[in-house]
Amino acid sequence: MKKTVTVVGHAAYDYLFNVADHPHENHSTYILDWEKHYGGGAANIATGIAALGGKSRLYTVAGSDFKRYEAYLARKGVACVLVRSNRKTARAYIFNAGGRQKMYFYWGASEEMERMRGIKSRYCHIAPCHPSLAVRMVEKSRFVAFEPGQDLQRYDGSTLSYITEEADIIFCNETELRAMEKKVPLKGKEVIVTLGERGSLLRKNNMRIPAVPAKSVDPTGAGDAYKAGFWIALLKGYEIPECCRMGATVASFVVERKGTQHFPAWETVISRYERQFGSVQDL
């Protein structure tokens, strides 16, 4: 029987804009084109795990306009445990210009996360979400990966300290790492730091994992794809460095298209992995 990963956090509608440039305060710019996609960090990871042949369960809030997204997730093989809300589903507004990105996030229905009670899980990935929900999931899960992401600012020191102490793996980028270290000690923890085009870092043993070369069309969701690939490899029995290399490989596919949920078949991932890193036994 496949092991199920419960992914907790946002499901959102992503609005991706290509703009001429990022304007200064009180100035405007032109929107060159835009697209709407299914997104949200937790939903991206859960969809990726399912697409790569794993088993995932998404625990999130469904807004009043979530019906089509819910049907889409069912088609993708993602099991859903939903809290219903009369508010609109969360939105991410992402502006890309010259390789630089700015994002604005509207919580909407995700504000209901504060009242979610948590569910028992063997394997749990806590994506960006409300701190109180993160605490409840830590209390009810046996193996936990935690990433505060853009919601780090919502965590006070004591809550962040409890979660990072209990978590088995912590994911963050460089900015989040610096912010967390100002609040809590992370020495000795399995912290995986994503570095964008420079790859990722296993901070515990200072091991650098290179990015997999790809023609980047849209970097949105690369980190979520990395985590989906990481989880699949972890549950197949790979060691942490191989899991990170697998994550980097999956991320290289997602950046090649607009949107966050364009995942290849597992066999395709293995092929690119082996071209980049050498052969690996597919457990």
Please state the domain count of the chain: 1
Find the range with the poorest average confidence among 2-11, 209-218, 246-255: 209-218
Q: Which pLDDT score, from 0 to 100, does residue 1 have?
A: 47
pLDDT at 283 over 50: no
Stretch (H or E) spanning 185: none
278 exposed, middle or buried (CB, 10 Å; 0-12, 13-18, 19+)? exposed
Cβ atoms < 10 Å from Cβ of 46: 36
Residues facing residue 35 across a β-bridge: 16
Instruction: Write the pLDDT tens digit of every residue in 114-126.
Output: 999 999 999 999 9
Q: What is the pLDDT of residues 134-168, one digit of tens each?
A: 999 999 999 999 999 999 999 999 999 999 999 99
The fraction of the chain above a pLDDT of 70, given in percent, is 99
In a domain, 93, yes or no: no
Structural domain including 261 reads 4-11+39-83+122-277
- Average pLDDT, integer, range 178-206: 93
What's the whole-model pTM score? 0.95
Residue 28 lies in a domain: no
As given in the structure block, the two tokens for residue 189 are 């923890």
88 is a domain residue: no
Average pLDDT over the chain reads 94
Whether residue 20 contacts residue 200, with contact meaning beta carbons closer than 8 Å, is answered with no
Whether residue 250 lies inside any domain: the answer is yes
Q: Let me know if residue 19 belongs to a domain.
A: no
Within-domain flag for 101: no
Looking at 14, 151, 218, 224, which residue is catalytic? 224
Q: Tell me, rounded to whole angstroms, the distance of Cα 274 from its chain centroid.
A: 24
| Residues 213-224, mean pLDDT to the nearest whole number | 90
- Per the annotation, the verdict on 224 as an active-site residue is yes
CATH at 213:
3.40.1190.20
- Using the predicted structure, report yes or no on whether residue 250 has a pLDDT greater than 90: yes
